A and B are shown apart, each in its own frame.
Chain A
Amino acid sequence: MRKLAQLLETRQISSTEVVEHYLSEITKQEPILNAFITVDAEGALAQARASDLRRQQGMALSPWDGIPIAVKDNISTKGLKTTCASRFLANYVPLFDATVVSTLKNSGLPIVGKTNLDEFAMGSSTEYSAYGVTRNPHDYERVSGGSSGGSAAAVAAGEIPWSLGTDTGGSIRQPASFCGVVGLKPTYGWVSRYGVVALAPSLDQVGPLAKTVEDAAILFSLLAAPDAMDATSADARAFPVPDWDESFIKGLKIGVPEEFFGDGIKPEVERAVTDSLEFLAGQGAELVPISLATNEYAIDTYLTLVTAEASSSLARYDGVRYGVRVPAEDSNTMFAKSRSAGFGSEVKRRIMLGTYVLSARHYGAYYEQAQKVRTLIRQDVLAAFQQVDVIITPTTPSAAFRIGAKQSPLEMYLSDLFTAMANLSGIPALSVPCGKDARGLPLGLQIMGSHFQEELLFKVAYLVEKYVGVEGGTFSDKL
């Protein structure tokens, strides 16, 4: 991205040309890929022309002014449909921008469109989208992952240089891993959630997806800021792009949790991750075998909390003010009919589960218990960071699966096996490509750090990327 920024800076290329390039890629690939729900070609070109004008007048809003971006379709964009991949919001046009979208606009980034996801971010494959599955650019028969599958696939396919995703239990990292791109789930509270349609507010975070580690770091440096509109926003703190100095690796303690290797993990995944770990050790890092025993409870805990919070967060879709309304004799019937018509099966399943775990009779056994276990998981994770600087695990137990392969909801839920822990404890976690399996499918490695340790995650990922290489190169490389 630095190269592209420099070309824009020196006016060897215009933002309009850059945007036109990506729009033509989108036109070419979308019929198969389906990474976008909405493409706003007109809007993006208008923004590009405005950017070119700013460049002419020497008034660029940021070094990245004019570089286009795509935004996951559960992040509010003023005047641009935000469907959450749900029939319910098929025609919903927000009246306001999410804070992160304002940030992108204030940095001069043209927004090219809204990317596909599992309905309301509930899923791990985009198969639960009301607008069709997003195919994996590496194998069209396979899923792109989810829920930020559209954001990951668009970047991997070169439809867009970078994108925004959201991550509640792995929804940035798992598709990043499946599509062979870099994705970060930031520390809870470092990126504003204002305008991001809630799945589970105590777990949701917005994060960057990009082809390279540095690009992801640059995008994150724009996003990481306190926001007075979000009461869960962290105290004022900026994120400068790291200097990529490599000496930090000497003596860096990398925790390798035994629970994330061995049984249930595809050997190729384990081999690729181990290979990268050995490389890092060769660079001077110290590999420390650790235990994160509470990960055994992460999925159950995660599902209890995410369904509970979702059942409440999605209650506002009642047909009164916006979205689907099925007229009925009385308001309760209208609510029920509208919601039945507007929501897909996975959303209904999770709302029912969440309603159950919060009900007066079961609250103690489920929701309350899950909150207690969440505290234990957090303590377990924080204790681990007393011993080590970062923790490295596979991002997912396997590479991208075939479309339609996961038949039961439970199988799908297990996709978050290695990723949910970071959300439950609020720590940052990043997925970086670490090789391919025999079929040529990308594999991802997850780096977790203590709260606000994103810089360290990026620096470790940068070394892994250097070792593995960036596949296919970027648009600007080809210029």
Chain B
Amino acid sequence: MTSYDTVIGLEIHVALLTESKFLCSCNTSFGAPPNSQCCPVCLGLPGALPLINEKAVEYATRAGFALNCQVHYFSRFDRKNYFYPDLPKAYQITQDAFPLCTGGFLEYYMDDQLVRTEITRIHLEEEAGKLIHSGATIVDSDYSLVDYNRAGIPLIEIVTAPDIHTPKQARLFLEQLRLLMNYIGVSDTKMEEGSLRCDANISLKPAGSSVLGTKVEIKNLNSFRALERGLEFEERRQSQLLNRGEAIRQESRTWDERAGRTISMRSKGDAPDYRIFPEPDLPPLNLDPVWVSLIEASVPELPLERLRRLEGEYGLSRYESTFLVNYRDFGDLFLSLAPMGIEHKSIVNFLMGDYARLAREHGHLTAERIAELLKITSEGLISPAQAKEVLEELFSSSLSPREIVEQKGLQVVGDPAKLGPIVAEVLSTHLELVGRYKNGETRLFAFFVGQVMRAAQGKADPEVVNQLLRDELAD
């Protein structure tokens, strides 16, 4: 059995989050009634002409800078001709020979190793409409309907170099790319809604060889998991073929999620001739260098930069930093809380604890309220158990943490004169256990603490309780 190197390249389509479409002023919001967001331009009516949405160019430019690309002042639009019911003009306006961006890269961590994937190009193009089949699939449908709401939404196509080596790396790359697009605010990148889509090219070559094998394109990879599984399947299929001495056919295959395999769609010979030529309805883009530099300056802190800052400046672990980077809203909250005089570790612990669950359910609390809660907890005004109660209350109340403590009478009881009788009561009802404790079963201490806390309805100061119990049990 020969061993093989896997070579993977990705083509990613990202729908840009502009308010209006790429070539007309129609609304782009998701989920509107079918064909309610269309006009002569995006329906391809005779005589309608396209106009470039500047916002789409801005977003694509920002994506280019975020991916370390060269953004070209001059780029050009082309027509890619093919017939399909969801393509109103029977050509797609895209950029072929002169794309907006070329030559970038994305760096990301894989198993604690920083890896880099080269970006070959990024270009702007328009989205097609959406076919809705009457049956489960196109083959067993009596008819199909077309929704053109999606037609003309701006896309960027991001093409990587063939320098991804494992299915897992492909998934990691796509996850990082998605995060990056979210950070720069150009797309909501929802794979389930189709605003992020990925096709993969994969080939195998004998380990160490510099000659690329025949590549196969995989389509219909509708989730991160599908991308990884589809590539894994294809990796196996190709290596088995090669081991049997058979050749790989250059073809497009589609991922069948249910069957867990790829299925041949068309071979290279059947590939359509797109007859691409310059779009005569649109002059080339000639970007103003000043405008471009303003877009460059507007690129915010990117995920990798933030990761490095969280580890370097705040001393967080890779695990904690990754959590805060992946959940950018949590990261933002951390960065707001960090200068407020609270220990960084306790902020992270708080954010990653019960708060994470509650915030996902109800939305975030303000940094100010969180800071107050953390302070009164660390000062011992309330116990950790009470802090949890206050936290839950904060999501439904407009009061400050202190006000909630007051209102609910949650203040910790630390007065030994009040706690003493409770301790005595607890010990007297568990005389047998007290005896066992005194005979060396010291782990029962925690049980007594728990009983006292319960009897004090959680309001007892644990330090005082500990002290009182130790004194009583030492006798």
Interface set of A (CB-CB < 8 Å, partner B): 75-76, 82, 84, 89, 92, 94-96, 98, 193-198, 200-202, 228-232, 308-309, 311-312, 315-316, 318, 320-322, 331-332, 335, 355, 358-360, 363, 367
Contacts and interface: CB of A to CB of B under 8 A. Distances in A.
Given A231-B282, A232-B281, A315-B90, A358 B48 contact: no
A168 B58 CA distance: 35
Contacts of A84: 46
A95 B90 CA distance: 20
Contacts of B79: 312
Contacts of B277: 308-309, 312, 358, 363, 367
Given A96-B40, A312-B81, A315-B90, A82 B46 contact: yes
A231 B45 contact: no
A294 to B, nearest CB: 21
A398 to B, nearest CB: 31
A320 B47 contact: no
Interface in B63-107: 79, 81, 83-85, 88-91
A87 B130 CA distance: 29
Contact of B49 (A95, A231, A309, A316): A231
A358 B47 contact: no
Contact of B83 (A198, A200, A332, A358): A332
A86 to B, nearest CB: 10
B40 A92 contact: no
B280 A309 contact: yes
B43 interface: yes
B318 to A, nearest CB: 49
A322 B49 contact: no
5 contacts: A92-B46, A193-B49, A194-B48, A231-B52, A320-B146
B17 to A, nearest CB: 23
A382 to B, nearest CB: 19
A230 B49 contact: yes
Contacts of B88: 316, 320-321
Interface in B29-64: 40, 43-52
Contact of B283 (A92, A195, A232): A232
Given A231-B52, A320-B85, A355-B275, A94 B280 contact: no
Contacts of A200: 280
A335 B45 contact: no
B379 interface: no
Nearest to B139: A330
A309 B49 CA distance: 14
A363 B90 CA distance: 19
Contacts of A96: 40, 45, 48
Given A201-B280, A231-B283, A316-B89, A359 B275 contact: yes
Contacts of A308: 277
Contacts of A231: 49-52, 281-283
Contacts, number: 100
Interface string B146-169: 100000000000000000000000
A194 B49 contact: yes
A89 B85 CA distance: 18
B273 interface: yes
A312 B275 contact: yes
Interface string B393-414: 0000000000000000000000
Nearest to A339: B83
Most central of A76, A89, A321 by chain B CB within 10 Å: A321
A201 B281 contact: yes
A230 to B, nearest CB: 5
B23 to A, nearest CB: 9
Contact of A312 (B50, B91, B144): B91
Contact of A316 (B46, B52, B146): B46
Interface of B: 40, 43-52, 79, 81, 83-85, 88-91, 144, 146, 273, 275-277, 280-283
Contacts of B49: 193-194, 229-232
Given A315-B90, A321-B44, 10 more contacts: A75-B47, A95-B45, A229-B51, A231-B281, A231-B283, A309-B277, A312-B79, A312-B277, A315-B81, A316-B90
B45 A94 contact: yes
B45 A331 contact: no
Contacts of A312: 79, 81, 90-91, 275, 277
A161 B273 CA distance: 48
Given A312-B275, A315-B91, A316-B90, A195 B48 contact: yes
Contacts of B52: 231
Nearest to A75: B47
A229 B23 CA distance: 10
Contact of B45 (A232, A318, A322): A322
Contacts of A309: 277, 280
B40 A95 contact: yes
A360 B81 CA distance: 12
Contact of B46 (A89, A202, A358, A359): A89
A232 to B, nearest CB: 6
B84 A331 contact: yes
Nearest to B80: A312
Given A231-B49, A315-B90, A331-B85, A321 B283 contact: no
Cβ-closest 6 pairs across A and B: A315-B90, A358-B275, A202-B280, A201-B280, A195-B47, A197-B46
Contacts of B44: 316, 321
Contacts of A201: 280-281
A76 B49 CA distance: 12
A315 to B, nearest CB: 3
A363 B273 CA distance: 11
A180 B81 CA distance: 41
Nearest to B275: A358
Nearest to A334: B85
A7 to B, nearest CB: 35
B51 to A, nearest CB: 6
Most central of B46, B83, B89, B273 by chain A CB within 10 Å: B46
B448 to A, nearest CB: 78
A315 B83 contact: yes
B280 A197 contact: no
B55 to A, nearest CB: 16
Nearest to B23: A231
A318 B90 CA distance: 8
B280 A360 contact: no
A84 B46 CA distance: 10
A355 to B, nearest CB: 7
Nearest to B143: A327
Nearest to B146: A320
A196 B281 CA distance: 12
A97 to B, nearest CB: 10
Nearest to A367: B277
Nearest to A330: B138
Contacts of B283: 231-232
B142 to A, nearest CB: 11
B278 to A, nearest CB: 8
Nearest to B50: A231
A94 B281 contact: no
B237 to A, nearest CB: 29
Contacts of B275: 311-312, 355, 358-360, 363
B35 to A, nearest CB: 10
B114 to A, nearest CB: 41
B387 to A, nearest CB: 60
B81 A318 contact: no
A96 to B, nearest CB: 5
B46 A76 contact: yes
B284 to A, nearest CB: 11
B230 to A, nearest CB: 26
A91 B46 CA distance: 13
A367 B79 CA distance: 14
A152 B281 CA distance: 27
Most central of A201, A318, A363 by chain B CB within 10 Å: A318
A70 to B, nearest CB: 18
Nearest to A204: B280
Contacts of B43: 321
